A and B are shown apart, each in its own frame.
Chain A
Amino acid sequence: MQIKLRVNGKSLDFDVEPRLLLVELIRDHVKLKGTNIGCDTTSCGACTVLINGISAKSCTVLAVQADGCEITTIEGIGTVEKLHPMQEAFYKHHGLQCGFCTPGMIMAGISLATELENPESDEIRLGIEGNLCRCTGYNNIVEAIKTGLAEMKQLAKNANIESHFDRKEIH
């Protein structure tokens, strides 16, 4: 089946079987290996990407369901020279150890900007309830996401963009 989607801003065409999972499309066809597969059962969040700006577990989405959508993966948010504020915050707060959960954690954290305005730590913990980390014990991740969200909000304010915090966008 022919599908067309934008991955990290690039328009791409694919001819895929309907049973291909989005995570497999991303890893094996687009060859972006930052999005991980942990559980393959919608439980761990290692495969979290953004579909039209909000988080989804790509092991439980068919690639064909994403036809026409904008997909953002960990590779699409920053560069080594200029990290995304959420990446910068994970770096600053030491929000990772082995790094396996990190791409999913960062994408889930970025997505929270659409739902939480000035989140308390408890709200962030609930916000990442679907992302498991075997290493850190979560405290540094929660701190990192708090800082990252505040930074994103400041940037959006500077640029006069409200959309990050517009809950109506959630579908």
Chain B
Amino acid sequence: MIPSSFDYVVPQSLQEAFSILRESDGEGKVLAGGHSLIPLMKLRFARPSILVDISKIEGLSKVEENDDFIEIGAMCSHALVAYSNLVKENSPLVAHVAAQIGDAAIRHRGTIGGSICHGDPASDIAGALFATSAVLVIAGPNGKREMKVEDFFVGFLETALDPEEILIGIKLPKKLGRYSFEKLQRRSIDWAIVAVALNKVEDTLGVGLVNLGPTPAGFSLSLSRSEDTAALLEKFRDIAAGLTPPSDIFGSSQYRKVMAEVLFSRALSNLV
């Protein structure tokens, strides 16, 4: 399958990328790993006039440590996130989830930034970011802004990014606790039919929901000491009742809701 024609540029700096995006008048698109965008372009569901490949912009492909958080550059591949010692030590859920995306070759090319900016409700890593209360660092022609992950997804494949903005990093709080990730899939390379990510830090349980609505989602529950699994499950059931998961050949909306509950209770008993 052959995409329709487009121009291709490789800016060396963010400023250069912003001005190319501005000149493209909304017809240009950022290219990261290309593992969501290129398949869409081959099917001609996406026909950008120009691709702005951000892989050569300095500083976007590394993980950095600060006092209370680590920051993962948007262009870090899933493999890099999965193997990074900084991520494994400070936000192990995110490394654990990155290692389960697609297959080895996809993890070499696909990036954490692309996984988020694509806005796919089935993005595993987005679920992990909800569970860990991540903050996204966004750069644009007028400077930088930060946004909580829960404010980022506005609709199906739609995010709060302006056309000229670029996601540059993901900040993860350095808070260790217990975590788990349960992903229901037919074959091991597949996207999640449904997945649930949990991150328990002190008396808060961060929950990430994958493919349970038009966007990635999540919430947190505060855990009182007396709370047992049945009570938590009850709370989860209440919240799940309000979700609107998709129906497709892999399962109906109702099936996904039921499986979300099953995965949630599995995830609770599998916390490591």
Contact = CB atoms under 8 A, between A and B. Distances in A.
Interface in A31-85: 40-43, 45, 48, 51, 54-57, 60-62, 64-65, 67
A108 B104 CA distance: 8
A88 interface: no
B240 to A, nearest CB: 29
A67 B100 CA distance: 29
Contacts of A111: 104-105, 108
Given A18-B51, A19-B2, A42 B106 contact: yes
A21 B41 CA distance: 12
A43 B6 CA distance: 25
Contacts of B189: 43, 129-130
Given A43-B189, A60-B38, A108 B61 contact: no
B109 A62 contact: no
Interface residues of B, number: 34
Contacts of A126: 188
Interface stretch (B18-26, B75-83, B126-134, B141-149): B75-83
Interface of A: 1, 17-19, 21, 40-43, 45, 48, 51, 54-57, 60-62, 64-65, 67, 108, 111-112, 115, 126-131, 167, 170-171
Interface of B: 1-8, 10, 31, 34-35, 38-39, 41-42, 51, 53, 55, 61, 77, 79-80, 83, 102-106, 108-109, 187-189
